Homo-oligomer: A and B are copies of this chain.
Amino acid sequence: MNKHVIINDVGPRDGLQNQPRVLEIHQRVELINALVAAGVPEIEVGAFVSPKAVPAMAGTDKVFAQLKGDTVFSALIPNMRGYQSAKEAGVPLSSLVVAVSNTMNEKNIGMNTDTALVACQGVFAQAQQDNSEVQAYVATAWECPFEGEVSQADVIDVSARLLAIGAKRIVVADTIGAANPANVTSLMNALVEKFGAERFACHFHDTRAMGLANVYAALTAGVRRFDASIAGLGGCPFAPGASGNVATEDVVMMVEQMGFVTGIDMKKLLTASDLAIQLTGTAKGGKAKLWIEKYLS
């Protein structure tokens, strides 16, 4: 059994994106560097989106310009224009987002799923020409805030189409934190069986306290790549006051105690967590920080 779990820390983008405090470029770089120092193998460093719409992500090109080393840095892009900006900035891996349900796509990006996939296809084709990589987030993969429960067959269909048109990887995302371990096991078993575990990552929220349980469920299905956010940074956009992303330090603690290997230095990760808490004033930190002495002894 593959014992290597790869963590992608989305705190610097997904976490920072909706914070009351807009961090300075140098603060975003400081946070990312703390994650790099901890050995986090993949980090989502920002987004190439309208600075008016998302001021917290303005200057992602400047952030990226200051980063060094062989961490896999990525950025969120909404469309071809965002891809071009990412390419100009030298970012090697971009992430597109497509929801499963038509209503979610209509509300979010003003087009239905089919049209969204056509738009994605253009970006994948361009990336292939540029020798660049684009992965696809399949959002609201378990439940849509508008349409309710999402059918597994639809997720499989959208995933199949994305892989066929050139997505490097599919990140199956529980956008509103509605998945439970049973339907996570079920969906990820189906996807892994059909396409192979290496084509997938999972992105879970802890909104209903099931974040780690869902990570575990996905692990049993063979998934080895997980998004997480340092210090649990980032709320749930659909439920004010609700928690969002699973905390990186808690995911790392769980998988390592289960016998998996992440390559991450927990002590340095907790330093990064403290920094995230200090910089944002909102991040709470995971439960791992209470165990640092025990964990390290």
Residues on A lying within 8 angstroms of B by beta carbon are 180-183, 206-210, 212-213, 215-217, 220, 239, 241-243, 247, 250, 253-254, 257-259, 286-288, 290-291, 294
Contacts and interface: CB of A to CB of B under 8 A. Distances in A.
A287 B242 contact: yes
Q: Is the interface of A mostly helix, strand, loop or mixed?
A: helix
B210 A241 contact: no
Contacts of A212: 209-210, 212-213
Contacts of A213: 181, 212-213, 215-216, 254
Contacts of A290: 207, 239, 241-242
Identical copies of this chain, number: 2
Nearest to A243: B287
A250 B210 CA distance: 8
Contact of A209 (B181, B242, B258, B286): B286
Contacts of A220: 220
A239 B181 contact: no
Given A213-B216, A213-B254, A259 B182 contact: yes
Given A242-B287, A259-B182, A290-B242, A254 B216 contact: no
Given A207-B287, A212-B213, A291-B208, A182 B241 contact: no
14 contacts: A180-B254, A181-B258, A207-B290, A208-B250, A208-B253, A208-B287, A209-B250, A209-B287, A213-B215, A216-B217, A220-B220, A239-B294, A241-B290, A242-B287
A250 B243 CA distance: 14
B253 A182 contact: no
A180 B257 contact: yes
A215 B208 CA distance: 14
A259 B171 CA distance: 26
